[in-house]
Amino acid sequence: MSTQSLIDNNVETKTIVESLPCTLTREESHNYAKDCARLIREREKVESEKKGKNNEFKERIDAISKAASDISEKVNANQEYRDVDCHQEFNYLTMTVRTTRLDTGEVVGDRRMTAKEAQRPLFGEEE
C-alpha cells in the first residue's frame, strides 16, 4: 500500500509498509509462549506416532522378508518338511526301531531302542 503526495517540485513523499522489528506486548508474548508450547507438544506427539508407525512398518517388512526367505529355502532345496504318516517296526531281536514312510515306503530311520521301548508289556497289559 502506498500513498503519494507532492510537497513541492523537489520533494515527494510516499507512505509504504515495511516489515520491521516491534516490541511485543506482554499479552502477545504470553500468547506466543502458549502457542509455542502447544506446537512442541504436538511435534512430540507426531514424532511418537512416526516412531510407532516405523516400528509397525519394520515388523511388516521383517515378516514379509522371513516369508520370502522361507519360500526361497524350499525352492533352493526343492523340498519342505511336512507331517507324513509313518510306520514304526520294533525289532526285539536286534533292539532297533525302523521308521518307514507310508506314502513312499522309504525307510527314514533306524535307531536303537530306548530302555523304555525295550521293556515289553507283560501278557494282558496294555501300553
In a shared domain, residues 66 and 98: no
pLDDT in tens, 14-62: 888 999 899 999 999 999 999 999 999 999 999 999 999 999 999 999 9
In a shared domain, residues 51 and 91: no
Domain count along the chain: 2
In a shared domain, residues 31 and 66: yes
In a shared domain, residues 73 and 36: yes
**Is 49 among the domain residues?**
yes
Give residue 7's pLDDT: 61
- Where are any strands of DSSP class E within 1-127? 3-8, 11-15, 86-91, 96-101, 107-112
The pTM of this model reads: 0.48
pLDDT in tens, 103-122: 999 999 999 999 999 888 77
In percent, the amount of the chain with pLDDT more than 70 equals: 91
Longest dimension (CA), the chain: 136
**Is 31 among the domain residues?**
yes
In a shared domain, residues 76 and 103: no
Characterize 87-102 residue by residue with b for buried, 16 or more Cβ atoms within 10 angstroms of its Cβ, and e for exposed: eeeeeeeeeebbeeee
d(CA 67, CA 16): 68
Domain that holds residue 41: 24-80
Give residue 9's pLDDT: 73
In a shared domain, residues 46 and 71: yes
3-class DSSP state for residue 26?
helix
